[in-house]
Structure 1
């Protein structure tokens, strides 16, 4: 037995080269290790090339990328987008007088400055912009001579008491209370529709720059007397992009925790540095390739680089551990690298391919932002095959490991050495390969599965909170959103029904009547705060044409009467129909955009359309921010189960190719299924819905979990084929790859748990879910794999003789087979040629 303090093994790493059979090993191994220098040079050049590309990568968001573009709701919106200019991407800027009403000269002067500055910003659809200072906000009055009207802001406004009084009368006559002007008349709104592209450059609208412009030019006008509230997708996207700086800090902390944990485990600076270096190189390659393909990083795909790094650390730690173990037995570093490559390359390749498949399956979800994320993640994980399965063993074959790492490896393999808490902990898991412990583990897993399944049935799709769930409830954006919803009848959550007719059909009596009926049904629906449509406004103008008589507050059958009223609608509110009068939106203002609210509104409209649609008139869903949310929820709900089924089917096929037995596939998959069920139950308990931000995390749980199973089972099955009992085989797997599984599980969980304090809520939610999955996948693999193996993977001879695997630990503590040990020792003197 070796002396733990004897540095001979470490010295062996640097001994002069000895003859080595370069033809040994498989063709892939020979291709890599017989051309080590070329592999290193090529990887360095590629890292430099992709690193240069990565510096050009832009961070931005795109409104159209957030929506399922082939869904019928969205197709209806996009087909009629030119007639629905005010219902796409927009901002609402509420300007509040904190010490008075809007009828104040200083307040109106500030409002005018805001209006003018916003009007000149890039990407603003100026023709549809609205505020008290835009001529499109008009008042109408009925007189003996007919209608009389004009802009709400008096043409001769000069800030005097007289002009302020006139403005007050115009606001009352225009009926803009609750929309442009707050119900309490202490604030007013500047409505700002946005274009998808900058008309000056043709480039997509830059939300970071727009958000910064809003802060510098608009928010900077705040005073103790004037407070500004800004909501809308563009501002939300800008806040998220700005928050990415904080996200990168959390990612840096996570990477630092991973590096420190690896060093604490190995006490080897060089090997720890190489694992971190190769994982970071994979991130650089991934970012460079993404930029080369013409993509940008958005707030939702910013998670991908960390996932690539985390998966790289997981696989790199296994390679480092394998090489360290062999060197501790006296094997030369070059032979140790090749032996570790032979033992773990197939398992690592299968695990990474399973990760690639897990992310690639997300491509079935018809939301461009998820597809971009899936592509970026698949590229990143695919790159790890080269950086962590190929480059890392090659580099370690040059550098080897430190003496302290060798001493720690020998100590952990010494059956008589004093055990630390961690070592005793992972060695205790081999008890689950015995009958009593295996039955207990299976019963516990079954109870957890039943309980988790019962809770997960309450899992909801979509947002479960009001405001922007991507941000914390106390964020500036959500406080602004709450203010607008509290003080205005027309909320920022707009659901639009598209009424489609032949030319001129919108102003016909049947169409206006049906619109009016649908409005009445929607106003009775829970969660609806108010509605606006051409039919409702026509009622008002019809009464106005007849001296304001309430008897005429209706949609008139006479086409001359209704046509005259409709002409006034076109002038006063052009957003309620297009020039051909073929499209008219029915606007529904919701109290929130929670999944249950959207579901109720969709159901009401669909039921109405099923009865009242005709060949000439259709009630189409949907436009507006809430309409897009409803379509996204439907797509996510349909794709969620389909995605999981495809992920599991793909992982099962890869596992079967690797293990060549269905029993091992079942052993690998059952812990993953339990994790998926428990993760959904946790989402229910935490109030997290299934949505664009959480779908990738659910797929990730399967990918990371199968890594653990593949590494454990590959060693266990190899030892069983060599004649070891199940308990012996599993104990060897624990000593070789199992302790690294535990290390990686705790390391990654410790890194992502710091995300809980992130100001971006969806990152905090991801931190909680990822922490749970990293830990539970680790525990599930370490406990359930031996328990399931007891029932499915015990050799026939062991079952026939009734072996329970309960032999004393002293007899089987050091269970490396004599054949394997002899082969490693024989490789040592012959391995030194390539040093």
Structure 2
């Protein structure tokens, strides 16, 4: 037994020497944390999802106040019959536009709509001046058919409106709004937008809405489901405890463990001043359920020890002595998996990794120490009720399979095949989203339906911003700069999946054409800087609205925004868009002195950064979780073989998990990486418990390894099966109740990982031990009947 084991043994003696003092300290800390719980805030901050050190996000942050960011809302008014050019429909579009302009947090300068003052008809007067006026006059009480027909023709002749704000079939119009990023109240914005939809809804007219504020608003709208999920989860756990234990301590102490662990965890969250994000709620539920599972292991072992010694204090002491070491190792493994999440560059996961790892470590005090001490002080429980015959028969069959060399070899062979098939299926997993719409919500949800309708009728609601920057002010007036931007724009438009684009060269060409009697042959970029500047000035002078060029260039004429419209932000769409952009940018022949093309903003650019960050995090965090748990187990048992067994179990579960993700079309993103890391850390507890119990039983059986495996599965194996059921019960209701698809998918992913880890612990670990006879379990040999005995029994 090495120094660490001696240290743990000293803790054992100290704790049971002063049980009341330790319990009093734990109670006082619980009271302290309980006072912090009401201060916990639950909300989502869009900035927390963004890897702030990524170059795309730095660009996004620098241009969002000028050109807009990723917090935009796109609403569409669609008519069933005729087109939108009727007096009633135009009035409805105008009312919606004005109402959106009054929504909290909207950027009034970046609102776009057919009826908004910034959408203007531009023409050349008889005196050679450029003039403009809004397409829609809200003071006009009635429109004749001739006026409506003229308005229709004017709109169709302007490529900056037709196709972008009015659909090609003339049956739909968009209202686009940008919101000032920061402390946006998504719930308030969502309520206001939904009120607009309800007010303006009418027969023959459909109003759709998509965009980040709408998405987070929908997320907030389902927070009321938390109470139902919580109550049903508690009910499931209580039911399982009653069925399994049918004894007061077995029911009350695990619930006590989960309660005070949750209080400590939420108290730490409050002290760190972190918000509880709705998208990550599944993980706190799992950590709390994990606390209960440790309590179940302790109570189960206590009842077993009590049958041998018939004295509660001694039984509790022996329980603590047997389970504190593997339990601590399991909890440290949990904490490692959680803490490593913080190595990613996304703030939401940094926060999650820090508070969740501390929450997990608290289980050492709230369960591993508190529960045995309480058992030592509580009255002696009544004798156990008779166990169910079917329960013993089930685990007896499992033991019979794994406790012999032939069965073990079959199991390891099947596991090897599963690994090979799983590796192939894992290649299907994409970095990012594999389906259109938002994976947070179901495909038939109003939000995703709105996105689909808008993307079918328009170039696309998913915008990619690419910035052109010149070294000097006024650089955007240079003809060679505009020609380069146009060439880049044309290169991107060769992508058949790209819906459209908007950039300053198009505006310059359009104004130049107007100055030449609307002759299409003059839709070209002038060859002098002064001429270009004159066209820009003429356009601004024609508009009484300040900042008429703001959607295209900044006030210094030094930075321009090139907008590309995509119909989705699937992983393949984003990869193709970024690849095409870099392809042109990196071509030496396209370089223009003093011009720099920078990636990337808008929702597509932001998502690209998130995908790249998720890939980097996945390649860093998951291998580190596996490696550090391997190192820690190796050091704990002073055996490379012990570390290798745990590593093998983790690899089997991890590869199988990725295979499931490939089959279920679940992508790797900033939300799924922590789920995988948590699943690995939490699930490995099972294998640690079963391996440690086999080691202990081998010593007790004086080296009879087969008897040790049979005994371990009949005791710890049974507890593992039950704790796995409890952990599954702790998250399964998210699958059936939550209207947030991501929460349901995350819960289902955790369920799959918990099942895989339980199977690995019950089958793979004992089979490996039976076949390869690791020395840290005990030196062994076969007798004439093929039964394994130890030549040199090893102390526990």
Alignment of 1:316-715 (within 5 A): 316-399=295-378, 402-403=381-382, 406-408=383-385, 419-426=389-396, 428-489=398-459, 491-502=460-471, 503-567=473-537, 572-611=548-587, 612-614=590-592, 616-715=594-693
- Could you tell me whether the CA contact under 8 Å between 1:430 and 1:727 is conserved in 2? no
> What is the CA-CA distance between 1:392 and the residue it aligns to?
1.9
Aligned to 2:84, the other structure's residue is in SS state coil
Alignment of 1:74-113 (within 5 A): 74-84=57-67, 86-113=68-95
Q: Which of 286, 289, 292 is residue 307 of structure 1 equivalent to?
A: 286
Aligned to 2:112, the other structure's residue is in SS state coil
Q: Which of 767, 771, 780 is residue 787 of structure 1 equivalent to?
A: 767
Q: Which of 743, 746, 761 is residue 763 of structure 1 equivalent to?
A: 743
Residues of 2 paired with 1:90 and 1:805: CA distance? Answer: 70
Residues of 2 paired with 1:377 and 1:287: CA distance? Answer: 10
> What is the CA-CA distance between 1:635 and the residue it aligns to?
1.3
- Could you tell me whether the CA contact under 8 Å between 1:433 and 1:789 is conserved in 2? no
- For 1:240-266, what per-residue CA distance to the aligned partner results, in whole angstroms no more than 9, with x for missing partners? 122233245334423322221122111
Query: What residue is the counterpart of 1:264 in the other structure?
Result: 243
Q: Residues 139, 469 of structure 1: CA spacing in aligned structure 2 closer, same or farther, 3 A cutoff?
A: same
- Could you tell me whether the CA contact under 8 Å between 2:481 and 2:592 is conserved in 1? no
Aligned to 1:556, the other structure's residue is in SS state coil
> What is the CA-CA distance between 1:423 and the residue it aligns to?
4.2
> What is the CA-CA distance between 1:170 and the residue it aligns to?
4.8
Q: Which of 94, 117, 120 is residue 138 of structure 1 equivalent to?
A: 120
> What is the CA-CA distance between 1:231 and the residue it aligns to?
0.9
Q: Residues 212, 561 of structure 1: CA spacing in aligned structure 2 closer, same or farther, 3 A cutoff?
A: same
Aligned pair 1:180/2:180, yes or no? no
Residues of 2 paired with 1:517 and 1:140: CA distance? Answer: 26
- Could you tell me whether the CA contact under 8 Å between 1:196 and 1:205 is conserved in 2? yes
Residues of 1 paired with 2:299 and 2:550: CA distance? Answer: 68
Q: Unaligned regions of 5+ residues in structure 2, if any?
A: 1-6, 541-546
- Could you tell me whether the CA contact under 8 Å between 1:117 and 1:218 is conserved in 2? no
Instruction: Return 689-698 or 124-133, whichever deviates more.
Output: 124-133
Aligned to 2:184, the other structure's residue is in SS state coil
Instruction: Return 569-578 or 372-381, whichever deviates more.
Output: 569-578
Residues of 2 paired with 1:120 and 1:658: CA distance? Answer: 62
Aligned pair 1:46/2:29, yes or no? yes
- Could you tell me whether the CA contact under 8 Å between 2:773 and 2:780 is conserved in 1? no
- For 1:202-223, what per-residue CA distance to the aligned partner results, in whole angstroms no more than 9, with x for missing partners? xx11212222232235434323
- Could you tell me whether the CA contact under 8 Å between 2:432 and 2:570 is conserved in 1? yes
Q: Residues 363, 152 of structure 1: CA spacing in aligned structure 2 closer, same or farther, 3 A cutoff?
A: same
Residues of 1 paired with 2:192 and 2:263: CA distance? Answer: 31
Residues of 2 paired with 1:637 and 1:528: CA distance? Answer: 25
Residues of 2 paired with 1:255 and 1:308: CA distance? Answer: 14
Aligned pair 1:60/2:37, yes or no? no
> What is the CA-CA distance between 1:619 and the residue it aligns to?
0.9
Query: What residue is the counterpart of 1:3 in the other structure?
Result: none
> What is the CA-CA distance between 1:143 and the residue it aligns to?
4.4
> What is the CA-CA distance between 1:606 and the residue it aligns to?
0.8
- For 1:23-57, what per-residue CA distance to the aligned partner results, in whole angstroms no more than 9, with x for missing partners? x9943234433333333343334333333322232
Query: What residue is the counterpart of 2:754 in the other structure?
Result: 774
Q: Which of 217, 224, 227 is residue 206 of structure 2 equivalent to?
A: 227
TM-score by length of 1: 0.87
Q: Which of 717, 730, 740 is residue 695 of structure 2 equivalent to?
A: 717
Query: What residue is the counterpart of 2:544 in the other structure?
Result: none
Residues of 1 paired with 2:349 and 2:593: CA distance? Answer: 37
Aligned to 1:329, the other structure's residue is in SS state helix
Aligned to 1:575, the other structure's residue is in SS state coil
Residues of 2 paired with 1:447 and 1:182: CA distance? Answer: 53
Q: Unaligned regions of 5+ residues in structure 1, if any?
A: 1-23, 198-203, 413-417, 821-835
Residues of 1 paired with 2:379 and 2:419: CA distance? Answer: 44
Query: What residue is the counterpart of 1:21 in the other structure?
Result: none
- Could you tell me whether the CA contact under 8 Å between 1:137 and 1:572 is conserved in 2? no
Q: Residues 783, 169 of structure 1: CA spacing in aligned structure 2 closer, same or farther, 3 A cutoff?
A: same
Aligned to 1:87, the other structure's residue is in SS state coil
Residues of 2 paired with 1:283 and 1:759: CA distance? Answer: 24
Q: Residues 424, 686 of structure 1: CA spacing in aligned structure 2 closer, same or farther, 3 A cutoff?
A: closer
Residues of 2 paired with 1:654 and 1:251: CA distance? Answer: 34
Residues of 2 paired with 1:551 and 1:90: CA distance? Answer: 36
- Could you tell me whether the CA contact under 8 Å between 2:167 and 2:173 is conserved in 1? yes
Residues of 1 paired with 2:138 and 2:645: CA distance? Answer: 79
Residues of 2 paired with 1:118 and 1:155: CA distance? Answer: 16
> What is the CA-CA distance between 1:383 and the residue it aligns to?
1.7
Aligned to 2:74, the other structure's residue is in SS state strand
Q: Residues 28, 284 of structure 1: CA spacing in aligned structure 2 closer, same or farther, 3 A cutoff?
A: same
Alignment of 1:159-178 (within 5 A): 159-161=142-144, 164=148, 167-168=151-152, 170-175=154-159, 176-178=161-163
- For 1:617-663, what per-residue CA distance to the aligned partner results, in whole angstroms no more than 9, with x for missing partners? 11111000011111111111122122111101111122123211111
Q: Which of 195, 219, 233 is residue 216 of structure 1 equivalent to?
A: 195
Instruction: Return 447-456 or 293-302, whichever deviates more.
Output: 293-302
Residues of 2 paired with 1:427 and 1:94: CA distance? Answer: 62
Query: What residue is the counterpart of 1:16 in the other structure?
Result: none
> What is the CA-CA distance between 1:779 and the residue it aligns to?
0.9
Query: What residue is the counterpart of 1:70 in the other structure?
Result: 53
- For 1:82-131, what per-residue CA distance to the aligned partner results, in whole angstroms no more than 9, with x for missing partners? 432x2331111223344553333333444343333332332111122222
Residues of 2 paired with 1:109 and 1:184: CA distance? Answer: 19
Query: What residue is the counterpart of 1:831 in the other structure?
Result: none
Residues of 2 paired with 1:782 and 1:585: CA distance? Answer: 59
Q: Residues 710, 432 of structure 1: CA spacing in aligned structure 2 closer, same or farther, 3 A cutoff?
A: same
Residues of 2 paired with 1:45 and 1:613: CA distance? Answer: 68
